[in-house]
């Protein structure tokens, strides 16, 4: 094919651009090396308190093993380089298992959460029989969960018609309220490197964990389905220094969450505990002096969201044994679910201090009174659930169902549902009658 000479330079530039883009797309983001608090962890005087903290939290870390490996490295200066490298790698892996410290007040709670406040007790419905979520949805023809094992797998579901509208109303309601609080909305990936997930405090190893791994990747660089957008948001700021004027740097995301967990408990049947669901997540990066205040802000946002919906719920300060590895302190919110006759967790928020930041290299600019030391400018991170859809749907449908098989839509959600005040029973011709009618029509 003849190509005019004037077109050749354009084609060459286009081909060069394609090559650059292709190389950029193949480039792997290199996470910074984790930076543990060695001064604290490797000091033998701290071993008893660290060990007690691990026991309180039912953690898996072994501080004695950490310090033994460190002593071997210090004493073994004559060891071959390969042996020292192996010990150093093992030391990093063992330090990564040590959980965060625990807020001293929480240690006083024993193994039970502290109920800080009860909200809307006048709305606790016990006056009559209330259907469980799955039962009322079946009567209203609004969802499907049965016979999906060979299609989408165990514990999956379809939401249809007005129930699907209610899901999106909840998302829009939460996102709009967070916008008012100056959160920045970010769309995040569902696939994440396993190190991002581990750095956020969730294990990806062993047969019994909550993480779905994708087949085909190397063991060193495997990709996983994200369990919560908290992980993707933490990855978004990994390796960055957040300017002081941006702090606290508040982000939100709407994403699908994937959990391999399962449960045989009767109270957790239906969509209470599922393998994939939609969630609106809050995430903040702040300095050391701000994280406790930001945690209180997240807690108050969650309380406000559920209070406006008219739900009866409890605000809990969780004991050490209920804290995941990253959390220094965690609040849970449990809503009354009259169909189940129990309180169920619908939200939580956690102050992770510098646990995630040290593993992902998230830093803030040092304050004017501080020196620019790498140890002092690690950020603190805080996360919280603004709206986890399945649990919220359970709470709404069990609390606001009427005796005529309708659901009253909370007033604050009506603008997001075209002004609908009620969700009504969807009339569907029963499958058996439909089959009979079709057979009759074919016989004519």
* 178 and 135, same domain (yes or no): yes
> Lowest-confidence range among 3-12, 269-278, 355-364?
3-12
* 175 and 308, same domain (yes or no): yes
* 341 and 373, same domain (yes or no): yes
pLDDT of residue 273: 85
User: Is 25 within a domain?
Assistant: no
**pLDDT tier for residue 367 given thresholds of 50, 70 and 90:** confident
User: Is 131 within a domain?
Assistant: yes
* 204 and 254, same domain (yes or no): yes
Asked whether the predicted pLDDT for residue 30 surpasses 80, the reply is no
Q: Which residue has the higher pLDDT, 282 or 436?
A: 282
- Mean residue pLDDT of the chain comes to 87
260 labeled binding residue:
yes
229 labeled binding residue:
no
Instruction: List the domain range (segments joined by +) for residue 72.
Output: 38-97
281 labeled binding residue:
yes
Total Cβ atoms within 10 A of residue 284: 26
**Residues facing residue 334 across a β-bridge:** 314, 345
* Residue 224: CATH number of its domain: 3.30.930.10
Q: What is the dihedral of CA 137, 141, 145, 149, to 10 degrees?
A: 160
* 294 and 182, same domain (yes or no): yes
347 labeled binding residue:
yes
pLDDT of residue 265: 65
**pLDDT tier for residue 40 given thresholds of 50, 70 and 90:** very high
277 labeled binding residue:
yes
Packing angle between helix 389-399 and helix 133-140, nearest 10 degrees? 80
* 86 and 198, same domain (yes or no): no
Domain count, the chain: 2
User: Is 15 within a domain?
Assistant: no
Residue 281 phi/psi, 5-degree rounding, is: -115, 145
Asked whether the predicted pLDDT for residue 11 surpasses 60, the reply is no
Q: Which of 27, 95, 101, 103 is nearest to 359 (CA)?
A: 95
275 labeled binding residue:
yes
Please say whether the dihedral angle defined by the alpha carbons of residues 231, 237, 241 and 243, taken in this order, is positive or negative.
Answer: negative
* 56 and 164, same domain (yes or no): no
pLDDT in tens, 233-242: 999 999 999 9
274 labeled binding residue:
yes
Asked whether the predicted pLDDT for residue 217 surpasses 60, the reply is no
pLDDT in tens, 147-192: 666 666 667 888 999 999 999 999 999 999 999 999 999 999 999 9
Asked whether the predicted pLDDT for residue 261 surpasses 90, the reply is no
User: Is 304 within a domain?
Assistant: yes
Q: What is the mean pLDDT of residues 351-366?
A: 96
Q: How long, in residues, is the chain?
A: 444
* 238 and 213, same domain (yes or no): yes
* 306 and 190, same domain (yes or no): yes
**pLDDT tier for residue 267 given thresholds of 50, 70 and 90:** low
Structure tokens at 112: 């039970």
Task: Using a pLDDT cut of 70, give the percent of the chain over it.
Answer: 82
pLDDT in tens, 77-113: 788 999 999 999 999 999 999 999 999 999 999 999 9
106 labeled binding residue:
no
**pLDDT tier for residue 369 given thresholds of 50, 70 and 90:** low
261 labeled binding residue:
yes
* 46 and 84, same domain (yes or no): yes
* 57 and 147, same domain (yes or no): no
User: Is 8 within a domain?
Assistant: no
The model scores a pTM over 0.85: yes
Q: Which of 174, 365, 357, 152 is nearest to 252 (CA)?
A: 174
Cβ–Cβ < 8 Å for 149, 156: no
* 254 and 400, same domain (yes or no): yes
Strands 184-185 and 249-258: parallel
28 labeled binding residue:
no
User: Is 22 within a domain?
Assistant: no
User: Is 44 within a domain?
Assistant: yes
User: Is 440 within a domain?
Assistant: no
Q: What is the mean pLDDT of residues 185-210?
A: 88
């Amino acid at each position: 094919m003849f190509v005019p000479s004037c077109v050749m330079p354009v084609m060459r530039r286009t081909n060069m651009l394609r090559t650059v883009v292709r190389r950029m797309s193949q480039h792997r983001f290199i996470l910074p090396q984790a930076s543990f608090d060695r001064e604290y962890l490797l000091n033998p005087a701290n071993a008893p308190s660290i060990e007690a903290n691990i026991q309180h939290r039912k953690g898996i870390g072994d501080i004695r093993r950490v310090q033994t490996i460190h002593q071997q490295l210090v004493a073994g200066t004559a060891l071959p380089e390969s042996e020292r490298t192996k010990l150093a790698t093992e030391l990093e892996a063992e330090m990564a298992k040590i959980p965060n410290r625990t807020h001293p007040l929480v240690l006083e709670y024993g193994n039970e959460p502290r109920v800080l406040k009860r909200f809307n007790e006048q709305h606790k419905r016990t006056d009559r029989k209330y259907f469980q979520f799955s039962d009322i949805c079946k009567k209203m023809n609004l969802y499907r969960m049965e016979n999906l094992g060979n299609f989408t797998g165990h514990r999956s579901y379809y939401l249809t018609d007005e129930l699907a509208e209610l899901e999106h109303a909840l998302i829009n309601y939460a996102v709009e309220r967070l916008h008012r609080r100056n959160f920045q909305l970010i769309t995040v990936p569902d696939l994440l490197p396993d190190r991002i997930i581990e750095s956020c405090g969730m294990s990806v190893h062993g047969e019994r964990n909550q993480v779905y791994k994708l087949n085909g990747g190397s063991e060193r660089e495997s990709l996983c389905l994200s369990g919560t957008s908290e992980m993707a948001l933490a990855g978004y700021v990994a390796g960055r220094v957040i300017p002081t004027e941006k702090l606290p740097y508040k982000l939100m995301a709407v994403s699908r969450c994937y959990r391999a967990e399962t449960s045989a408990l009767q109270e957790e049947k239906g969509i209470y505990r599922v393998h994939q669901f939609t969630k609106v997540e809050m995430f903040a990066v702040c300095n050391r002096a701000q994280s406790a205040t930001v945690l209180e802000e997240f807690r108050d946002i969650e309380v406000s969201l559920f209070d406006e919906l008219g739900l009866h719920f409890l605000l809990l300060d969780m004991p050490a044994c209920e804290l995941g590895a990253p959390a220094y302190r965690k609040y849970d919110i449990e809503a009354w679910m009259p169909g189940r006759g129990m309180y169920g967790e619908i939200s939580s928020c956690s102050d992770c201090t510098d646990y995630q930041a040290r593993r992902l290299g998230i830093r803030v600019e040092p304050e004017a009174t501080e020196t620019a030391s790498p140890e002092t400018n690690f950020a603190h991170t805080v996360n919280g659930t603004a709206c986890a859809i399945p649990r919220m749907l359970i709470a709404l449908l069990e609390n606001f169902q009427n005796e005529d098989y309708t659901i009253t839509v909370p007033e604050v959600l009506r603008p997001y549902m075209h002004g609908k005040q009620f969700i009504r029973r969807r009339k569907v011709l029963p499958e058996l009658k439909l089959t009979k009618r079709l057979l009759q029509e074919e016989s004519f």
